[in-house]
Amino acid sequence: MGNDTTAQTVIFTQRVDAGGVTHYLVVRNGPEAGRHIEVTTEGQQMGRSEADVTMADRAVSKLHCEIVMFGDSLIVKDLGSTNGTFIDGQEVTSPASLPVGSMLQVGETLLVHEVRTPEEVAQDEQLSEDVDRAVEYVLSLLPEPLLDGPVRTQWRYIPSAQLGGDAFGYHKLDDDHWVLYLVDVCGHGMGAALHTVSVMNTLRNGTLPNVDFTVPEQVLKALNRAYPMEDHGGKYCTIWYGVYQLSTRQLVFGAAGHPPALLLKADSEHVDELDIRGLPIGMIEDAEYTSSDVVIPEAATLYVYSDGVYEIVTKDGRNGTLKDLIDIIEGPEQPGLGEPERIEKAVRDQMAGTAFDDDFSLLVVSF
């Protein structure tokens, strides 16, 4: 490694390696998610090329940052990278400590500092492969965008590093009705994904007995009965569920603990919040749900989303809100970008760091 100093040499001798454990930087997102980078006593430079540890991330500079050991911590120094180096969201402007459990961001790659035994590393890599397969499976459940017809859809789904519990869908119920829905299961990881898949398959296959799927409150009430959190590993989910009737242009909708869908009419600069309240699915037995309706004018656009789209930490350190998302949606179109991509870009522009903490799910429907 370059730029060694006497002080750094002293730091290296203070490495703690008790009980055969080793310090790792564990990649939490992107194509290398699950990769364990062992931190050596000599320290390492990280970069896209020309470094001891190379990262498959175009946002990483050729020579990006340097990691050295100091007791139980690692010390991180940015090497003049283009996109900066961050520890728990704070930019590294001078050598800074990376304690065990902290999150290091290099380019778009998130890495957690962990202390592990070799056996634990092997287990983690297996789990990471399982999560990757779960992501593939959830993606396989998402429908293709509808490019033509009276109901047209575009969407953006970006699973978080740990895989959240988002999914969405739409399909024809009959010649006159389309159903649209978005599900968000609490928590992250395989448990959340399994629950999502189960709820999604119930909606896709219409397997709720004695339920009219054109009536949102019936669907939500039946789902609530079918998925009590006590019987499903403590998991609950939020859902937005809407049914669009082609002949009347009427959208009937209900929600269970989900933020409101947003409707932007062609002749308006401001969205209408399709606000309807109901408890999340599975939270209490015998919860009651209601529905509301709206007539969709020509050329209107409906936005259905998960809270991960706006619950970000912004560059100025505050928590993003629904109002931020509304401001983005009401902003000008961007030539060459589809609507989901425009919104994603605007959210990313506001966001500290580049990786989403929760799934980003956005369904844009044009009528």
Shortest Cβ distance from residue 198 to other proteins (Å)? 17
Based on its alpha-carbon atoms, the radius of gyration of the chain, rounded to whole angstroms, reads: 23
Shortest distance in whole angstroms from residue 322 CB to other proteins: 7
> Residue 112 pairs with which residues in a beta bridge?
26, 103
Residues 324-363 that bind other proteins (CB under 8 A): 357-358
Mask 306-325, x = binds other proteins (CB under 8 A)?
-x---x-------x-xx---
In angstroms, rounded to a whole number, what is the distance separating the alpha carbons of residues 286 and 301? 34
Give the x/- contact pattern for other proteins in 131-170, rule: CB under 8 A. -------------------------------x--------
> DSSP assignment of 261-291, as one string?
EEEE-TT-SSEEEE----PPBTSSTT-----
57 near other proteins (CB under 8 A): no
Nearest distance in Å: CB 206, other proteins: 26
Query: CB–CB of 45/53 below 8 Å?
Result: yes
Find where tokens 């017809």 sit. Answer: 149
Smallest distance from other proteins to CB 364, Å: 20
Residues numbered 232 to 291 that lie near other proteins (CB under 8 A) are 234, 236, 238, 257-260, 277-280, 283-284
DSSP secondary structure, 287-352, as one string: -----EEEE--TT-EEEEE-GGGT--BBTTSPBP-HHHHHHHHTSPP-TTS-HHHHHHHHHHHHBS
Near other proteins in 169-198, by CB under 8 A? 184-188
91 to 130: interface string for other proteins, x by CB under 8 A: ----------------------------------------
Q: How far is the CB of 33 from other proteins (least distance, A)?
A: 17
Return the axis-axis angle of helices 118-141 and 190-205, rounded to nearest 10°: 20
Interacting residues of 183 by C-beta distance below 8 A, sequence separation 6+? 165, 166, 167, 168, 196, 199, 200, 203, 237, 238, 239
Binding site for other proteins (CB under 8 A): 162, 184-188, 229, 234, 236, 238, 257-260, 277-280, 283-284, 307, 311, 319, 321-322, 357-358
